[in-house]
Chain A
Amino acid sequence: MDTKTLSDFITWSKTTDLQEIIYKKNGIAIDIKTAAATPAASDFSCKLDIVAAPALGIYHAGKKGKALALKENMPVKKGDLLGTIEMNKTLKDVLATIDGVLKVISITDGLPTEFGQPLFFIEPK
């Protein structure tokens, strides 16, 4: 099956409420399970350290107009500035929790965040 057909197939499957689709033709078989069929555990554990939002507000990838060049897979040290949260009239720093590698950035500059929302995932050194 070519990738275009496959992607069309997946796009179509998302418009249905089917939980599992098995397709067999000419010796090719694919089995697609949609998200609903395999619910994600809400309390997952992972080896990565979570940097949670220290306040609710707007996240800025920088401080006092100075932008930070954050990239996934870059090394970070405990206490490194990872951005600021603008909570009405107060600013709160977002700091790296441990030494390691910044594996996942799950927040974008200028977006709102709730208190406690995971913003970064750091792989311990």
Chain B
Amino acid sequence: MTQKINKFNKVLIANRGEIALRIIRTLKEMSIKSVAIYSEADKFSAHVKEADEAICIGPGPSSQSYLNIDAVVAAAKMTKADAVHPGYGFLSENARFAQAVIDAGMVFIGPRPEAILKLGEKSHARALAISVNVPVIPGSDGIVEKNHLATAKKIGFPIMIKATMGGGGRGMRPAFSAEDFQKALDTAQGEAKAAFGDDRVYFERLVLNPRHIEVQLAADNYGNVIAFPERDCSMQRKNQKLIEESPSPFVTPQVRAKLCAAAARLAKAAKYSGVGTVEFLMDKDRNFYFMEVNTRLQVEHPVTELVSGFDLVKMQIEIAQGQKLEVNQTRAQEILCHAIEHRINAEDYTKNFMPCPGQITEWIPAGGIGVRIDSHVYTGYTIPSFYDSLIAKLIVWAPNREDALKRSKRALGEFEVKGVHTTIPFHKIMLNNEDFATGKMDTGLVERIMKENEGKK
């Protein structure tokens, strides 16, 4: 198929904070004009200052600003943008939003709405995975509408109850036995109803002490798909990732090839285009099981950018402009270094990671060789209470994991933030953990480190 290229003049970023700034930076390098949108609470965010144009779309609460489809589309039309980049979170995986952008005559920088729907609905995504031989965890194969307990028993405990519209750990509850099943079901359904207005659930066998392994991919409009070396995001708390790294210290070259091939098969089957991530759980024998697809750019994408040497946002924009992928699978799978990302949140880890909005009175980010900081904050910036508490991503890279860990320690030591609590001290604690240092992580390690640390006090 011949390329049909439609170069963008102006792109509106339907997001805020560090990711909006991240996208603006690439747009500048591509000589594309940028439009920032902001809520009243974000008037002083760096993304507003750095964009070529900025427009206030609503009050602080995201439901009336960043999540308001009509407001975002109206802003794009008013500023005559020819494409919209959704970033991550907010409306990035909302097929209705993607369609509204297209209906308004603009390009949505992401997959087609049909692909978002197909992969975003977890039960559909699972069925698609099964159809192309991507391994899945034994489960209910679809929404469980009745005979909940009998279905659970058939799969075999322990099981995980998951909301069909779920994400970010909400509407997700484990049940270890038939006895605690009903309570877990009620909680999961209650959360799902409150968060997504949809309490339909499905069940899966719970893989004990798994690793969270995910594969970044990019697909163009012509059926070409590439998959990058995996990211290990096992260092998470309540399904919120804290540290992501690539490559995984646990994955062997043979397993890596299988992971990449599985992710690419799924993307091809969904006629996917754009960048996306396929998430897997990996058990202690390196068997991996498909979890879900994130049909957008991810928070931890810089890890892959460093390991592979590409600008994924640029790749994403080029794909949306109709360009063919210029990178083949052999090159995409190459590992140039080891990269680790630390998510710095304005949270007090001693108070169960309670968010700490407020003014940053001093901001001295780390620097030097092998250090990248993606952040929208500065000295004097006030963190609004309406949004998530991510204030910076510290990403380090080095030729190997051992050196990367040393660099992480050095960079975290330099990083000074005053005025609010941050997770920097907790990152230092995690780096000193023996299991983490030797690459023996699973998704329960952060909780164990927290308990261990609690004991020391």
Max chain A C-beta neighbours (<10 A), residue from B55, B58, B70, B104:
B70
> Known: A56-B75, A56-B78, A116-B40. Is A88-B56 also a contact (CB below 8 A)?
no
B71 at the interface (CB under 8 A from A): yes
Partner of B57, one of A86, A90, A112, A115: A115
Beta-carbon contact of B74 and A88 below 8 Å: yes
A66 at the interface (CB under 8 A from B): no
A-contact 0/1 string along B16-33, CB 8 Å cutoff = 000000000000000000
Residues of A within 8 A of B70 (CB): 87-90
Complex CA distance for A63 and B69, rounded to whole angstroms: 22
Partner of A57, one of B40, B59, B69, B74: B74
Complex CA distance for A57 and B73, rounded to whole angstroms: 10
Complex CA distance for A56 and B74, rounded to whole angstroms: 7
Partner of A115, one of B56, B69, B77, B104: B56
Max chain A C-beta neighbours (<10 A), residue from B40, B59, B69, B74:
B74
Complex CA distance for A58 and B73, rounded to whole angstroms: 12
Select from chain B the residue with minimum beta-carbon distance to A114. Answer: B56
A-B contact count (CB 8 A): 43
Beta-carbon contact of B74 and A87 below 8 Å: yes
| Chain A interface main SS type | loop
B251 at the interface (CB under 8 A from A): no
Shortest Cβ distance from residue B54 to the other chain A in the assembled complex, whole angstroms? 9
A-contact 0/1 string along B260-287, CB 8 Å cutoff = 0000000000000000000000000000
Shortest Cβ distance from residue B79 to the other chain A in the assembled complex, whole angstroms? 9
Residues of B within 8 A of A55 (CB): 58, 71, 74
Residues of B within 8 A of A86 (CB): 74
Q: What range describes how many residues of A lie at the interface?
A: 10 to 19
Complex CA distance for A87 and B59, rounded to whole angstroms: 15
Shortest Cβ distance from residue A119 to the other chain B in the assembled complex, whole angstroms? 14
Q: What range describes how many residues of B lie at the interface?
A: 10 to 19
B299 at the interface (CB under 8 A from A): no
B-contact 0/1 string along A45-79, CB 8 Å cutoff = 00000000001111000000000000000000000
Residues of B within 8 A of A88 (CB): 69-71, 73-74, 77, 100, 104
Partner of B55, one of A87, A90, A114: A114
Shortest Cβ distance from residue A9 to the other chain B in the assembled complex, whole angstroms? 36
A-contact 0/1 string along B45-77, CB 8 Å cutoff = 000000000011111000001000111011101
Complex CA distance for A27 and B38, rounded to whole angstroms: 55
Complex CA distance for A98 and B377, rounded to whole angstroms: 39
Complex CA distance for A62 and B75, rounded to whole angstroms: 21
Beta-carbon contact of B78 and A115 below 8 Å: no
Beta-carbon contact of B58 and A112 below 8 Å: no
Residues of B within 8 A of A56 (CB): 55-58, 71, 74-75, 78
Residues of A within 8 A of B71 (CB): 55-56, 87-88, 115
A-contact 0/1 string along B337-380, CB 8 Å cutoff = 00000000000000000000000000000000000000000000
List CB contacts (< 8 Å) of A86-124 with chain B. 86-90, 112, 114-117
Complex CA distance for A27 and B261, rounded to whole angstroms: 90
Select from chain B the residue with minimum beta-carbon distance to A90. Answer: B70
Max chain A C-beta neighbours (<10 A), residue from B40, B55, B75:
B75
Residues of A within 8 A of B75 (CB): 56
Residues of B within 8 A of A117 (CB): 56
Shortest Cβ distance from residue A113 to the other chain B in the assembled complex, whole angstroms? 9
Complex CA distance for A20 and B57, rounded to whole angstroms: 39
B-contact 0/1 string along A25-60, CB 8 Å cutoff = 000000000000000000000000000000111100
Beta-carbon contact of A57 and B78 below 8 Å: yes
Complex CA distance for A88 and B78, rounded to whole angstroms: 10
Complex CA distance for A117 and B75, rounded to whole angstroms: 14
Residues of A within 8 A of B104 (CB): 88
Select from chain A the residue with minimum beta-carbon distance to B73. Answer: A88
Complex CA distance for A90 and B73, rounded to whole angstroms: 11
Beta-carbon contact of B73 and A115 below 8 Å: no
Residues of B within 8 A of A89 (CB): 70, 100
**18 CB-based A-B contacts, threshold 8 Å:** A55-B74, A56-B55, A56-B56, A56-B57, A56-B71, A56-B74, A56-B78, A57-B74, A87-B71, A87-B74, A88-B70, A88-B71, A88-B77, A88-B104, A89-B100, A114-B56, A115-B65, A116-B40
B: which residues have CB within 8 A of A?
A: 40, 55-59, 65, 69-71, 73-75, 77-78, 100, 104
A: which residues have CB within 8 A of B?
A: 55-58, 86-90, 112, 114-117
A56-B55, A56-B57, A115-B58 known; 17 new pairs, CB 8 Å cut-off, are A55-B58, A55-B71, A55-B74, A56-B71, A56-B74, A56-B75, A58-B78, A86-B74, A87-B70, A87-B74, A88-B69, A88-B70, A88-B104, A89-B70, A114-B57, A115-B71, A116-B56
6 pairs of A and B residues whose beta carbons are closest in the complex:
A88-B70, A88-B74, A88-B73, A87-B74, A112-B78, A114-B56
